[in-house]
Amino acid sequence: MNKTILITGASSGFGEVAARFFLDKGWKVIATMRRPEASRLGGETEHLRVLPLDVTSEASIAALVEAAGPVDVLVNNAGIGIVGAFEAMPISAVRQVFETNTFGVMALTQALLPQMRERRSGTIVNVTSAVTIGAFPLAAVYTASKQAIQGFSGSLAIELAHFGIGVKLVEPGYAPTTSFGANAILPYTELLPGEYAEVARPVFEHFANPALTTREADVAETIWAAIHDTSGKLRFPAGADAVALAVTA
Protein backbone atom coordinates (compact mmCIF):
# COMPACT_ATOMS: atom_id res chain seq x y z
CA MET A 1 0.00 0.00 0.00
CA ASN A 2 1.32 3.44 -0.91
CA LYS A 3 2.15 5.60 2.06
CA THR A 4 0.94 9.18 2.46
CA ILE A 5 3.33 12.02 3.20
CA LEU A 6 2.21 15.53 4.15
CA ILE A 7 4.74 18.26 3.33
CA THR A 8 4.31 21.84 4.48
CA GLY A 9 5.74 24.80 2.60
CA ALA A 10 5.51 22.94 -0.71
CA SER A 11 4.94 25.93 -2.98
CA SER A 12 8.66 26.24 -3.75
CA GLY A 13 12.17 25.31 -2.68
CA PHE A 14 12.80 22.28 -0.48
CA GLY A 15 9.10 21.50 -0.06
CA GLU A 16 8.26 21.57 -3.75
CA VAL A 17 11.24 19.41 -4.71
CA ALA A 18 10.52 16.96 -1.88
CA ALA A 19 6.92 16.65 -3.09
CA ARG A 20 8.11 15.84 -6.61
CA PHE A 21 10.67 13.38 -5.23
CA PHE A 22 8.09 11.40 -3.26
CA LEU A 23 5.62 11.45 -6.14
CA ASP A 24 8.33 9.90 -8.32
CA LYS A 25 8.73 7.22 -5.64
CA GLY A 26 5.04 6.33 -5.93
CA TRP A 27 3.96 7.86 -2.63
CA LYS A 28 0.72 9.73 -2.07
CA VAL A 29 1.64 13.36 -1.41
CA ILE A 30 -0.36 16.04 0.38
CA ALA A 31 1.40 19.28 -0.48
CA THR A 32 0.36 22.22 1.67
CA MET A 33 0.88 25.93 1.17
CA ARG A 34 -0.78 29.20 1.99
CA ARG A 35 -2.00 29.71 -1.58
CA PRO A 36 -2.71 26.41 -3.38
CA GLU A 37 -3.62 28.33 -6.53
CA ALA A 38 0.06 29.26 -6.82
CA SER A 39 1.20 25.61 -6.78
CA ARG A 40 3.74 24.63 -9.41
CA LEU A 41 3.14 20.91 -8.87
CA GLY A 42 0.39 20.67 -11.47
CA GLY A 43 -3.17 19.52 -11.10
CA GLU A 44 -4.29 17.09 -8.44
CA THR A 45 -4.06 13.40 -9.27
CA GLU A 46 -4.63 10.07 -7.56
CA HIS A 47 -1.31 10.58 -5.81
CA LEU A 48 -1.23 14.36 -5.33
CA ARG A 49 -3.43 16.64 -3.28
CA VAL A 50 -2.68 20.33 -2.79
CA LEU A 51 -4.31 21.78 0.32
CA PRO A 52 -4.26 25.22 1.96
CA LEU A 53 -2.42 25.66 5.23
CA ASP A 54 -1.33 28.54 7.39
CA VAL A 55 0.67 26.96 10.21
CA THR A 56 0.12 30.04 12.38
CA SER A 57 -3.69 29.57 12.32
CA GLU A 58 -5.41 27.01 14.58
CA ALA A 59 -8.46 27.04 12.32
CA SER A 60 -6.35 26.39 9.23
CA ILE A 61 -4.57 23.49 10.93
CA ALA A 62 -7.85 21.95 12.08
CA ALA A 63 -9.32 22.20 8.57
CA LEU A 64 -6.22 20.61 7.07
CA VAL A 65 -6.19 17.67 9.47
CA GLU A 66 -9.84 16.95 8.72
CA ALA A 67 -9.30 17.18 4.96
CA ALA A 68 -6.04 15.23 4.90
CA GLY A 69 -7.20 12.03 6.52
CA PRO A 70 -4.57 9.43 7.53
CA VAL A 71 -0.98 10.63 7.26
CA ASP A 72 1.99 8.28 7.56
CA VAL A 73 4.75 10.90 7.43
CA LEU A 74 4.63 14.58 8.37
CA VAL A 75 7.37 16.83 7.02
CA ASN A 76 7.41 20.18 8.80
CA ASN A 77 9.22 22.23 6.18
CA ALA A 78 7.39 25.57 6.10
CA GLY A 79 9.51 28.39 7.45
CA ILE A 80 10.46 32.04 7.15
CA GLY A 81 13.78 33.76 7.66
CA ILE A 82 15.29 36.95 8.93
CA VAL A 83 18.87 38.19 8.59
CA GLY A 84 20.49 41.13 10.30
CA ALA A 85 21.84 42.53 13.51
CA PHE A 86 19.76 41.48 16.49
CA GLU A 87 20.02 45.02 17.84
CA ALA A 88 17.98 46.21 14.85
CA MET A 89 15.33 43.48 14.90
CA PRO A 90 11.78 44.61 15.68
CA ILE A 91 10.46 42.31 18.38
CA SER A 92 7.27 42.01 16.34
CA ALA A 93 9.36 40.42 13.57
CA VAL A 94 11.03 38.10 16.08
CA ARG A 95 7.62 36.90 17.20
CA GLN A 96 6.55 36.39 13.57
CA VAL A 97 9.54 34.15 12.91
CA PHE A 98 8.81 32.04 16.00
CA GLU A 99 5.11 31.78 15.15
CA THR A 100 5.96 30.01 11.89
CA ASN A 101 9.26 28.25 12.52
CA THR A 102 8.61 27.10 16.07
CA PHE A 103 5.01 27.29 17.20
CA GLY A 104 3.66 26.36 13.76
CA VAL A 105 5.71 23.17 13.76
CA MET A 106 4.57 22.30 17.27
CA ALA A 107 0.91 23.03 16.54
CA LEU A 108 0.69 20.91 13.40
CA THR A 109 2.64 18.08 15.00
CA GLN A 110 0.30 18.08 17.98
CA ALA A 111 -2.74 18.05 15.70
CA LEU A 112 -1.58 14.97 13.78
CA LEU A 113 -0.20 12.99 16.71
CA PRO A 114 -3.48 11.39 17.88
CA GLN A 115 -3.99 9.47 14.63
CA MET A 116 -0.36 8.28 14.62
CA ARG A 117 -0.57 7.23 18.26
CA GLU A 118 -3.79 5.29 17.64
CA ARG A 119 -2.16 3.46 14.72
CA ARG A 120 1.10 3.13 16.68
CA SER A 121 3.04 4.14 13.60
CA GLY A 122 4.21 7.23 11.77
CA THR A 123 7.20 9.51 11.27
CA ILE A 124 7.65 13.21 11.91
CA VAL A 125 10.47 14.95 10.04
CA ASN A 126 11.32 18.46 11.16
CA VAL A 127 13.37 20.47 8.66
CA THR A 128 15.60 22.91 10.52
CA SER A 129 18.92 24.30 9.25
CA ALA A 130 22.68 23.95 9.38
CA VAL A 131 22.69 27.08 11.55
CA THR A 132 21.79 24.69 14.37
CA ILE A 133 25.08 22.83 13.78
CA GLY A 134 27.41 25.84 13.74
CA ALA A 135 26.77 29.40 14.88
CA PHE A 136 26.48 32.14 12.25
CA PRO A 137 26.40 35.88 12.97
CA LEU A 138 23.41 37.93 11.82
CA ALA A 139 21.14 34.90 12.18
CA ALA A 140 20.48 34.92 15.92
CA VAL A 141 16.69 35.02 15.72
CA TYR A 142 16.38 32.51 12.89
CA THR A 143 18.82 30.20 14.66
CA ALA A 144 16.93 30.45 17.93
CA SER A 145 13.64 29.53 16.22
CA LYS A 146 15.26 26.46 14.67
CA GLN A 147 17.26 25.47 17.76
CA ALA A 148 14.01 25.33 19.67
CA ILE A 149 12.80 22.66 17.24
CA GLN A 150 16.06 20.75 17.66
CA GLY A 151 15.44 20.43 21.39
CA PHE A 152 11.74 19.79 20.88
CA SER A 153 12.48 16.97 18.44
CA GLY A 154 15.05 15.26 20.63
CA SER A 155 12.68 15.10 23.55
CA LEU A 156 9.70 14.15 21.40
CA ALA A 157 11.62 11.28 19.81
CA ILE A 158 12.00 9.63 23.21
CA GLU A 159 8.44 10.44 24.23
CA LEU A 160 6.88 8.93 21.10
CA ALA A 161 9.09 5.88 20.65
CA HIS A 162 6.75 3.98 22.98
CA PHE A 163 3.99 4.38 20.38
CA GLY A 164 6.11 3.37 17.38
CA ILE A 165 6.36 6.94 16.10
CA GLY A 166 9.70 8.16 14.77
CA VAL A 167 10.99 11.72 14.98
CA LYS A 168 13.80 12.93 12.73
CA LEU A 169 15.66 16.19 12.09
CA VAL A 170 16.87 17.22 8.63
CA GLU A 171 19.39 20.08 8.71
CA PRO A 172 19.85 21.68 5.27
CA GLY A 173 22.91 23.69 4.40
CA TYR A 174 22.85 27.00 2.59
CA ALA A 175 20.64 27.14 -0.50
CA PRO A 176 20.56 30.63 -2.09
CA THR A 177 16.98 30.33 -3.34
CA THR A 178 15.44 28.88 -0.19
CA SER A 179 17.61 29.59 2.84
CA PHE A 180 17.06 32.01 5.68
CA GLY A 181 18.15 35.07 3.67
CA ALA A 182 16.17 34.36 0.52
CA ASN A 183 12.81 34.06 2.29
CA ALA A 184 13.43 36.81 4.82
CA ILE A 185 10.38 38.67 6.07
CA LEU A 186 12.33 41.97 6.10
CA PRO A 187 15.13 43.07 3.74
CA TYR A 188 18.47 42.53 5.45
CA THR A 189 19.52 46.02 4.36
CA GLU A 190 17.00 47.42 6.84
CA LEU A 191 18.53 45.37 9.66
CA LEU A 192 22.22 46.14 9.20
CA PRO A 193 23.21 49.44 10.80
CA GLY A 194 26.48 50.85 9.51
CA GLU A 195 28.23 49.85 12.71
CA TYR A 196 27.79 46.19 11.71
CA ALA A 197 29.43 46.50 8.28
CA GLU A 198 32.63 44.81 9.43
CA VAL A 199 30.62 41.95 10.93
CA ALA A 200 28.53 41.50 7.79
CA ARG A 201 31.28 41.57 5.16
CA PRO A 202 32.91 38.18 5.88
CA VAL A 203 29.49 36.57 6.32
CA PHE A 204 28.32 37.53 2.84
CA GLU A 205 31.69 36.64 1.35
CA HIS A 206 31.40 33.22 2.97
CA PHE A 207 27.97 32.53 1.55
CA ALA A 208 29.00 33.74 -1.91
CA ASN A 209 31.13 30.60 -2.27
CA PRO A 210 29.30 28.31 -4.75
CA ALA A 211 30.88 25.27 -3.10
CA LEU A 212 28.66 25.91 -0.08
CA THR A 213 25.42 25.57 -2.00
CA THR A 214 22.98 22.86 -0.93
CA ARG A 215 20.73 21.58 -3.69
CA GLU A 216 17.03 21.15 -3.08
CA ALA A 217 17.46 17.54 -4.22
CA ASP A 218 19.96 17.00 -1.38
CA VAL A 219 17.24 17.81 1.10
CA ALA A 220 14.63 15.59 -0.57
CA GLU A 221 17.07 12.67 -0.59
CA THR A 222 17.94 13.27 3.06
CA ILE A 223 14.27 13.33 4.06
CA TRP A 224 13.91 9.97 2.32
CA ALA A 225 16.95 8.61 4.19
CA ALA A 226 15.67 9.92 7.52
CA ILE A 227 12.26 8.30 7.06
CA HIS A 228 13.82 4.94 6.24
CA ASP A 229 16.48 5.04 8.95
CA THR A 230 16.22 2.19 11.45
CA SER A 231 19.26 3.03 13.58
CA GLY A 232 17.50 5.50 15.85
CA LYS A 233 19.61 8.38 14.56
CA LEU A 234 17.97 11.78 15.12
CA ARG A 235 19.94 14.32 13.09
CA PHE A 236 20.53 14.23 9.33
CA PRO A 237 22.57 17.07 7.79
CA ALA A 238 21.61 17.72 4.16
CA GLY A 239 24.01 19.10 1.56
CA ALA A 240 27.78 18.93 1.38
CA ASP A 241 28.28 22.08 3.43
CA ALA A 242 25.98 20.88 6.21
CA VAL A 243 27.65 17.47 6.25
CA ALA A 244 31.11 19.06 6.46
CA LEU A 245 29.95 21.34 9.26
CA ALA A 246 28.52 18.40 11.19
CA VAL A 247 31.85 16.59 10.98
CA THR A 248 33.75 19.49 12.52
CA ALA A 249 31.07 20.53 15.03
188 as an active site residue: the answer is no
Tell me how far apart the alpha carbons of residues 228 and 201 are, in angstroms, rounded to a whole number.
Answer: 41
Tell me how far apart the alpha carbons of residues 58 and 163 are, in angstroms, rounded to a whole number.
Answer: 25
Diameter of the chain by CA atoms? 59
Contacts of 92 (CB under 8 A, 6+ apart): none
> Hey, how many other C-beta atoms are within 10 angstroms of the C-beta on 234?
17
Contacts of 180 (CB under 8 A, 6+ apart): 81, 82, 83, 129, 131, 139, 142
Active-site residue identified among 142, 174, 188, 196: 142
Question: Three-class SS of residue 102?
Answer: helix
Tell me how far apart the alpha carbons of residues 233 and 222 are, in angstroms, rounded to a whole number.
Answer: 13
Which among 55, 47, 44, 49 has a CA at the least distance from the CA of 68? 49
Tell me how far apart the alpha carbons of residues 193 and 17 are, in angstroms, rounded to a whole number.
Answer: 36
Q: Are strands 235-238 and 122-127 parallel, antiparallel or unpaired?
A: unpaired
Q: Are strands 165-172 and 122-127 parallel, antiparallel or unpaired?
A: parallel
Contacts of 196 (CB under 8 A, 6+ apart): 85, 87, 138
Name the residues annotated as catalytic. Answer: 142
